[in-house]
Structure 1
Amino acid sequence: MPRPLSLTARPGLRTSLPPAGDRTRLAGRVAGHLAGFGDRVALVGSGAGPGLSYSALAGRVRDAAARLGTTRRLVLVEGANHADALVAYLGALEAGCPVLLTAPGAAPALAAAYDPDVSWSLEAGLAEHRDAPATDLHPDLALLLSTSGTTGSPKLVRLSHANLLANARAIVDYLAITVDDVAPTVLPMHYCYGLSVVHSHLLAGGRLLLTEASVVEDGFWEQAREQRITSMAGVPYTFELLDRVGFGSLDLPHLRYVTQAGGRLAPDDVRRHARLGRERGWELYVMYGQTEATARMAFLPPLLAEDAPETIGIPVPGGSFTVEPLPERPLAGPSEPEVGELVYHGPNVMLGYAESPADLALGRTVTALRTGDVGRQREDGLFEIVGRRSRVAKVFGLRVDLDHVETRLAARGVVAAAADGGDRLVLAVCRGAKPVDASAVAAVVEAETGLPPSGVRLVTPDELPRLPTGKTDYRAVRALADAPEPVRSADPAGVDVVGLVGGLLRHPDATADDTFVGLGGDSLSYVEVSLSLEAVLGTLPSDWPTRPLGTLTGAGPRRGRRVEGSVLLRALGIVAIVGTHANLFTLAGGAHVLLAVLGFNFARFHLRTERRQRTRHVLRAAARIAVPSIAVIGLVSLWTPGLGWRQALLLNGLVGPDSWAEPAWHYWFIETALVLMLAAAALLAVPRVDGWARRAPFWLPFALCVAGLLTRYELVEPFDGDNRHRAHVVLWLFALGWAAAEATRRRHRLLLSLVAAATVPGFFEDPAREGMVVAGLLVLVWMPAVRLPALAARTVGVLAAASMWIYLLHWQVYPYFEYSHPWLATLLGLGIGVVGWHLAEGLRARLAR
């Protein structure tokens, strides 16, 4: 028999609410409980202004309840991480009204199925549809939540007032939540896990930071630090995002614990995060729950996370598990723990399910929760899940009914088999009878499950795998997902985004989970890829390089093309350089604008990855510049007096002439760009600096910009001679461009504009050239994109993509015509670079194959 595991529980929590076991309802008690915390801050963030105290929140809850009156009616509330949504929800509970809490996208379907008497949304506010309830409502019914968190099923979980109190008390107990705790709403309020964070903190008198921001957004962490958050809650996908932003290096001195639920986190990841928490001063709680148990049934005590990461731990206070034998499972051996279905018992077990309005009149129809998970209790007393009994998958924290997906596809004539792929839904669609319309399948799956394309692995066998009995072989379906066929994005516009991007980046093995940056995309390949995607998808989101390719969708091409400001500057900058050299016009300063663009692109394409991966990424990008440059300059030096090994090896700035000399200094921009990229990468390879970059993404490059002014103003001058074309002198421009990429607020942009206007004048002693550079910097700071006619956009894209080759090669043609035919000199200078770019890309493609 397993040994019982005993942990000392906290003393009982004292609140103004009735004990969890009582049948006393919450009506008339919610506002009183909130008011008991007085002037302590309850809410900050969205809709709460600078802060909403508990007494003020209680007043708003009473007002909301008064609007609903004394008649008990069904109230549909569209959930949102906003103070008004929370007030509407709590006000309904205060009024004694059962709440149907939905995701905004699910509200129309559930409203049609359950015909609520009152509805509320952030956009429309309160709408009363009738004065009396349309159906009988059981006295114990408090809350209705979707069984799956998706829009595809009207099946709801019926929760009682006692359920809500029992689960909130248990969570407060084992997490030791107090009035000093601050929790951000990382998860949506309509999701049972996110709602449990709300309940537990309001029960204990803690503070909620209401936000819809993602953990990958800088604004979220600014708020988190400002509010001194003490906890974080996340599903497995949240932890993937936290890894991307370097969560381990963030400065969160008040963080006390991190909780994880909503799906299985790999044991290695549990160990890693538990170890990280131990090093950083916070604890990791791995939890297990279901909506049917009002959120949570078990938790793994932090002290056991590194030793037993594969387990779900022990039941929450007040709950217990039994392991019931399964006919389809053989009996365990004499030395093995018994394996069976985990059945949970406790005061937080739901009343039962609802599938129609008539079910809302039912009382308790369920006394114990059959979880559908196959598990066992180990010798150390911890519970462990070893499989799943029912046909339900959990992807991105959403429970997906696999049979429901198959049924909905079959209704549209699509023969499919859906299987649980662990971190994604595996969908096999038979292509034997007709071609598979991937976009139509993706649209159905997304509508029925809420999963984005990146959460679905679509495979298209000629026939579905079958067992000898003729039933679908779901194990074989899962195996198909591991086949080498690349996952393709099923974009509603019918565009194979993954194939398009993978082909342009020479990655035929790309999958829908890959990103442009993750596939090695950089500033050289960005232009071609972005314009190709714009051409078929329409407008792209600004952060598309770091989004999974499977999530990139669009409505199709639009009139004209959107061209990013940095791309436009690259094209205009190289035209200004060639045209000025060819005597067609005088627009000096283009190269120095391109140094700021270089810093801008460095931030966009190299800072969104893990530290070691970033270093490799920068080295690959540097090699793409250095290798062709060394080859071209080395070849040209064979017939050009004044060029030699110093220039060919890109060492002119170190061992070449001190002052400007032609042609020795012709390629200064290439040398400077490489030095700045490599120096920035080396700086960020230092763990402490990497942490600063993630905690203060704007202020670190701004500090570098200020430091760079020491050499710009020659307060520090390690080299004599030329002072406009060396990396250490123009560092401030590179850093300013880097900061522009991280400028998320208007005050950031204003600050950079002031720096540009104040520091560029006097650098060249040529007002026209200085005006050109300032104008370029302002475009980089303030103009994210412009829309151009398709032909103009394509021309800009080609010139920007070929800019390095134009810079390298134009020296070889323009001098022959610069005095007699400057137009021809300019066109030939641009043209030879475009040809060189096409040839180089063709060679790179052949080498990749």
Structure 2
Amino acid sequence: MTAVVGTRPEHEPWPPLARHGSAPALVHGDRVLDYAELHDRVVARRDELGSVRRLVLLECANDVETVVGYLAAMTAGHPVLLAPAGGHHADLLATYRPDVVLSGAELTEHHDGTRHDLHPDLALLLSTSGSTGSPKLVRLSRENVVSNAAAIATYLRLSPDDRAATTLPMHYCYGLSVVNSHLRSGASLLLTDDSVVDDALWDDVARHRVTSFAGVPHTFDLLDASGFAARDLSSLRYVTQAGGRLAPDRVRRYARLGREHGFELFVMYGQTEATARMAYLPPQLTESRPECVGVPIPGGSLRIDGEGDVGELVYSGPNVMLGYATTPADLGAGRSVTELRTGDLARRHPDGLLEVVGRRSRFAKVFGLRFDLDRLEARTAEHGVASRAVEHDGRLAVFVRRHLDVGPAYDVLSGCGLPPTGATVHVLERFPVTATGKPDHAALARHASVLAAPRPAEPQRAVTPAVVRDE
């Protein structure tokens, strides 16, 4: 099948801090750090890291010291492994034994020089999962980072007038892409750890004239619950959404809200293995084509591998990772991947727009029947029921938020041809999410395992409205 190809952007060495001079770069609290000051801070930190190329673990918070440490390592050529602040990464420390750990203003040297064979192209290491401390990492090059930042800046039309709030963690590839693309463009960042439900965040958005923020689907759940539409949104130019599928009706609703308040909604698609971004839906199409992930980013190409209309989505571009790392020896390896098999199933519409319809690994086989769990969740949503579905021990476990949703959920299961003994429906007051806001299917599977354990004195039922609280 013919690939859909984006136009390759021109980009220069990144990040060009000094050339932006007195333009604001970082806003943190009441302090504004301009690009000249940021450049000086980065140079000082770079000198502390030394000239010998070493593996640096950076504990990330949304603050000035983290940005400085990240830029210092990147500009000096030290491969940097990003981890969440707070020390919940013992597995990473034990597995990769970094030479240096940066935590806020502290620099801790674990080794004089380096104990690692570091490939010349290796620049950045990111976790493949939302759970903290996963030892499986994505190996990224400087070209990966620069090209993806340039592509994002191109389709978002970023300029020095833009300012993004850091509503996502920096160790998460989506949150990091906001930092990379804005600093590459001479734009600025409002550094904050406030949630979108906090009035303090929106006070800062209005006071500092923030033009954008980024959100995963869980972010939009929080926005719905906190009266986002009633906020002062006058400074917003655009909002981006990625990190998982947002239901088409919600995409359409936020697109309309943006039209009313003067901001655009960019729905985007990506993976850590692609340094964050592979496709985006042009904002003028979000109301009419909300089910689509859109077109490839500039410089990228997407094709569908499979017979018929639906197949696996395969991405090619300069932002495709070098490969994975699971041991320190992998840090010396070169490129092992030339294209990215996403694991997502997609179709291409006659107008060229791409729609992701499911995940290869999100299929369950129950009594010989194959079920698309993403499609099942979408079907229940069409009936007004929020749900999460996982497979456990050859059966489906479906979680809903309210007791009154149990019956409709079971009706959907029955309508899909599932025998009554093939599934259980449970009430879960809060759906667990990962540290990056994505559905935590592993936690749901653990809940399903606990609920499936034999309970003497309780008869087995096909539908079990048991309330389980997320820990």
- Give the alignment's TM-score, normalised by structure 1: 0.45
Could you tell me how far apart the structure 2 residues matched to 1:453 and 1:389 are?
Answer: 15
1:215 has 2:222 as partner: no
Once the two structures are superposed, the pairs formed by residues 768-787 of structure 1 within 5 Å of their partners are: none
Once the two structures are superposed, the pairs formed by residues 787-798 of structure 1 within 5 Å of their partners are: none
Which position in structure 2 is the counterpart of 1:369? 340
Once the two structures are superposed, the pairs formed by residues 694-709 of structure 1 within 5 Å of their partners are: none
1:296 has 2:277 as partner: yes
Of residues 92, 113, 120, the one that matches 2:102 is 120
Of residues 227, 233, 237, the one that matches 2:214 is 233
- 1:45 and 1:211 in contact (8 A); partners too: yes
Q: CA deviation at 1:379?
A: 1.0
Secondary structure of the structure 2 residue equivalent to 1:119: strand
1:485 has 2:456 as partner: no
Secondary structure of the structure 1 residue equivalent to 2:25: strand
- Give the alignment's TM-score, normalised by structure 2: 0.79
After superposition, what is the alpha-carbon deviation per residue over 1:307-344, rounded to whole angstroms, capped at 9, x for unaligned? 1111110110000111111xxxxx43xxxxx2111000
Could you tell me how far apart the structure 2 residues matched to 1:269 and 1:286 are?
Answer: 11
Q: CA deviation at 1:151?
A: 2.7
Which position in structure 1 is the counterpart of 2:187? 206
- 1:376 and 1:383 in contact (8 A); partners too: yes
Which position in structure 1 is the counterpart of 2:368? none
Q: CA deviation at 1:189?
A: 0.4
Once the two structures are superposed, the pairs formed by residues 98-247 of structure 1 within 5 Å of their partners are: 98-104=79-85, 105-122=87-104, 125-151=106-132, 153-247=134-228
- 1:258 and 1:285 in contact (8 A); partners too: yes
- 1:78 and 1:107 in contact (8 A); partners too: no
Alpha carbons of structure 1 residues 45 and 13: separation in structure 2 relative to 1, 3 Å = farther
Q: CA deviation at 1:153?
A: 2.9
**Max radius of gyration: which structure?**
1
Alpha carbons of structure 1 residues 340 and 381: separation in structure 2 relative to 1, 3 Å = same
Instruction: Output the amino acid matched with 2:468.
Output: R
After superposition, what is the alpha-carbon deviation per residue over 1:391-426, rounded to whole angstroms, capped at 9, x for unaligned? 5999xxxxxxxxxx99xxxxxxxx9679797999xx
Q: CA deviation at 1:279?
A: 1.4
Which position in structure 1 is the counterpart of 2:28? 45
Q: CA deviation at 1:2?
A: 8.4
Q: CA deviation at 1:306?
A: 1.2
- 2:345 and 2:357 in contact (8 A); partners too: yes
- 1:78 and 1:103 in contact (8 A); partners too: yes
Which position in structure 2 is the counterpart of 1:560? none
Alpha carbons of structure 1 residues 324 and 89: separation in structure 2 relative to 1, 3 Å = same
- 2:83 and 2:132 in contact (8 A); partners too: no
Could you tell me how far apart the structure 2 residues matched to 1:445 and 1:269 are?
Answer: 19
Could you tell me how far apart the structure 2 residues matched to 1:184 and 1:445 are?
Answer: 22
Structure 1 portions without partners, runs of 5+: 18-28, 326-330, 333-337, 395-404, 407-414, 425-441, 464-478, 490-549, 552-849
Instruction: Output the amino acid matched with 2:353.
Output: L
Instruction: Output the amino acid matched with 1:374.
Output: L
Alpha carbons of structure 1 residues 391 and 357: separation in structure 2 relative to 1, 3 Å = farther
Could you tell me how far apart the structure 2 residues matched to 1:116 and 1:36 are?
Answer: 32
Secondary structure of the structure 2 residue equivalent to 1:390: helix
Could you tell me how far apart the structure 1 residues matched to 2:11 and 2:360 are?
Answer: 39
Identical aligned residues as a percent: 54
- 2:21 and 2:35 in contact (8 A); partners too: yes
Could you tell me how far apart the structure 2 residues matched to 1:57 and 1:486 are?
Answer: 54
After superposition, what is the alpha-carbon deviation per residue over 1:115-150, rounded to whole angstroms, capped at 9, x for unaligned? 00001112x711011122211000000000000121
1:390 has 2:361 as partner: yes
Which position in structure 2 is the counterpart of 1:266? 247
Alpha carbons of structure 1 residues 417 and 118: separation in structure 2 relative to 1, 3 Å = farther
Which position in structure 1 is the counterpart of 2:17? 34
Which position in structure 1 is the counterpart of 2:423? none
- 1:2 and 1:378 in contact (8 A); partners too: no
- 2:151 and 2:298 in contact (8 A); partners too: yes
After superposition, what is the alpha-carbon deviation per residue over 1:735-770, rounded to whole angstroms, capped at 9, x for unaligned? xxxxxxxxxxxxxxxxxxxxxxxxxxxxxxxxxxxx
Alpha carbons of structure 1 residues 214 and 418: separation in structure 2 relative to 1, 3 Å = farther
Please identify, of 287-296 and 148-157, the stretch whose mean Cα deviation from structure 2 is larger.
148-157
Alpha carbons of structure 1 residues 247 and 455: separation in structure 2 relative to 1, 3 Å = farther
- 1:231 and 1:256 in contact (8 A); partners too: yes
Root mean square deviation of aligned Cα: 3.3
After superposition, what is the alpha-carbon deviation per residue over 1:48-69, rounded to whole angstroms, capped at 9, x for unaligned? x520000000000000000011
After superposition, what is the alpha-carbon deviation per residue over 1:277-297, rounded to whole angstroms, capped at 9, x for unaligned? 111111111000000000010
- 2:20 and 2:186 in contact (8 A); partners too: yes
Which position in structure 2 is the counterpart of 1:286? 267
Could you tell me how far apart the structure 2 residues matched to 1:450 and 1:264 are?
Answer: 10
Instruction: Output the amino acid matched with 1:107.
Output: H
Q: CA deviation at 1:93?
A: 1.0
Which position in structure 1 is the counterpart of 2:298? 317
Which position in structure 2 is the counterpart of 1:461? 452
- In terms of fraction of residues, the more strand-rich structure is 2
Of residues 47, 51, 60, the one that matches 1:66 is 47
Secondary structure of the structure 1 residue equivalent to 2:69: helix
Secondary structure of the structure 1 residue equivalent to 2:468: coil
- 2:4 and 2:303 in contact (8 A); partners too: no
Once the two structures are superposed, the pairs formed by residues 496-645 of structure 1 within 5 Å of their partners are: 550=470
Could you tell me how far apart the structure 2 residues matched to 1:252 and 1:87 are?
Answer: 30
Alpha carbons of structure 1 residues 91 and 243: separation in structure 2 relative to 1, 3 Å = same
After superposition, what is the alpha-carbon deviation per residue over 1:40-96, rounded to whole angstroms, capped at 9, x for unaligned? 0100115xx520000000000000000011100000001110100111111111221
Could you tell me how far apart the structure 2 residues matched to 1:285 and 1:152 are?
Answer: 30
Of residues 249, 266, 279, the one that matches 2:230 is 249
Once the two structures are superposed, the pairs formed by residues 802-841 of structure 1 within 5 Å of their partners are: none
Which position in structure 1 is the counterpart of 2:287? 306
Secondary structure of the structure 1 residue equivalent to 2:304: strand
Q: CA deviation at 1:275?
A: 1.0
Secondary structure of the structure 1 residue equivalent to 2:169: coil
Could you tell me how far apart the structure 1 residues matched to 2:113 and 2:43 are?
Answer: 21
Structure 2 portions without partners, runs of 5+: 364-372, 375-389, 402-429, 455-460
Could you tell me how far apart the structure 2 residues matched to 1:155 and 1:455 are?
Answer: 19
Q: How many residues align?
A: 407
Alpha carbons of structure 1 residues 341 and 446: separation in structure 2 relative to 1, 3 Å = closer
After superposition, what is the alpha-carbon deviation per residue over 1:342-397, rounded to whole angstroms, capped at 9, x for unaligned? 00000000000001000000110000000000111111111111111125999xxx
Alpha carbons of structure 1 residues 187 and 446: separation in structure 2 relative to 1, 3 Å = closer
- 1:158 and 1:352 in contact (8 A); partners too: yes
Q: CA deviation at 1:14?
A: 5.8
- 1:70 and 1:95 in contact (8 A); partners too: yes
Q: CA deviation at 1:254?
A: 1.7
Q: CA deviation at 1:456?
A: 3.4
- 1:423 and 1:455 in contact (8 A); partners too: no
- 1:2 and 1:380 in contact (8 A); partners too: no
Could you tell me how far apart the structure 2 residues matched to 1:50 and 1:279 are?
Answer: 32
After superposition, what is the alpha-carbon deviation per residue over 1:633-669, rounded to whole angstroms, capped at 9, x for unaligned? xxxxxxxxxxxxxxxxxxxxxxxxxxxxxxxxxxxxx
Alpha carbons of structure 1 residues 155 and 454: separation in structure 2 relative to 1, 3 Å = closer
Could you tell me how far apart the structure 2 residues matched to 1:316 and 1:289 are?
Answer: 10
- 1:215 and 1:241 in contact (8 A); partners too: yes
Instruction: Output the amino acid matched with 2:51.
Output: T
Instruction: Output the amino acid matched with 1:120.
Output: L
Instruction: Output the amino acid matched with 1:199.
Output: N
Once the two structures are superposed, the pairs formed by residues 750-765 of structure 1 within 5 Å of their partners are: none
Could you tell me how far apart the structure 2 residues matched to 1:351 and 1:240 are?
Answer: 34
Q: Which has the higher contact order (CA 8 A, sep 6+)?
A: 2
Could you tell me how far apart the structure 2 residues matched to 1:317 and 1:422 are?
Answer: 39
